[in-house]
């Protein structure tokens, strides 16, 4: 479970802008979504066009007027349906039985997007039981190659924990075209104040300071 304080501290991260952007493309036509291991992370609110949004966590999952929270252990969870899209962000590194957990994601949704810490050194983060994680380890857990993957690094830090791997899996036998997805992506949530301009402003300040040094 992610505390409110934890989410407020992380909500300005560059990585979440990537997540929002990719979901707007990869899930543009989705009518249902489940966010597995979401805690109290609020990014699911930005996927306004998806009618059915569920957030699952073992303790106090995120919920709101638009999002139904499900308190359950994912490995024993029986959804009774197949979702159009599943998110599992920064979760697998905490799960001892990561392989069956990852494999189950593909049984509850047609399309899946996973993120994991990328090559974080062991012991850097309390609660991580699989560091370092890379694409090979994720491939072992999921049993498949992603149709798209990207490593996102936070630009304002030199921390060894600054990078995250995002991997997207398209339904087998279904045509996958990045160009078409880019053309058909959903617009930004109308009432959302994006974090990206704030980030670019902070980068500009850092650049100016560096040039004055």
Which tens digit of pLDDT belongs to each residue from 119-169? 999 999 999 999 999 999 999 999 999 999 999 999 989 999 999 999 999
List of residues 6+ apart from 118 with CB closer than 8 A: 133, 134, 151, 163, 164, 165
For the domain spanning 4-212, the CATH number is 3.40.50.150
Helix (H) or strand (E) holding 32: strand 32-36
pTM: 0.87
Q: Running DSSP on this structure, what letter comes out for residue 57? A: E
Q: Cα-Cα-Cα-Cα dihedral of 13, 16, 18, 23, to 10°?
A: -170
Confidence tier at 5 by pLDDT (50, 70, 90)? low
Which of 15, 82, 69, 85 has its CA nearest to residue 37? 69
Distance from C-alpha of 38 to C-alpha of 2, rounded to nearest angstrom: 7
- Extents of the domains making up the chain: 4-212
Has residue 3 got a pLDDT over 60?
no
Mean pLDDT of 71-91: 97
């Amino acid at each position: 479970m992610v505390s409110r304080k934890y989410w407020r501290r992380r909500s300005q991260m560059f990585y979440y802008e990537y997540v929002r952007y990719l979901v707007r493309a990869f899930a543009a036509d989705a009518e249902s979504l489940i966010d597995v291991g979401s805690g109290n992370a609020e990014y699911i609110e930005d996927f306004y066009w998806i009618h059915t949004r569920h957030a699952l966590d073992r303790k106090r999952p995120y919920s709101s007027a638009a999002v139904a929270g499900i308190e359950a252990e994912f490995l024993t969870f029986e959804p009774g349906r197949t979702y159009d899209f599943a998110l599992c962000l920064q979760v697998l590194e905490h799960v001892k039985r990561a392989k069956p957990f990852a494999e189950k994601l593909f049984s509850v949704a047609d399309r899946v997007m996973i993120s994991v810490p990328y090559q974080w050194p062991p012991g850097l983060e309390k609660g991580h039981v699989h560091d370092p994680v890379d694409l090979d380890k994720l491939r072992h857990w999921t049993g498949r190659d992603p149709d798209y993957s990207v490593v996102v690094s936070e630009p304002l830090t030199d921390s060894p924990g600054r990078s995250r791997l995002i991997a997207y899996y398209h339904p087998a036998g279904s045509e996958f075209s990045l160009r078409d997805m880019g053309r058909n992506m959903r617009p930004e949530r109308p009432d959302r104040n994006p974090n990206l301009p704030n980030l670019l402003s902070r980068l500009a300040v850092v650049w100016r300071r560096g040039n004055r040094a």
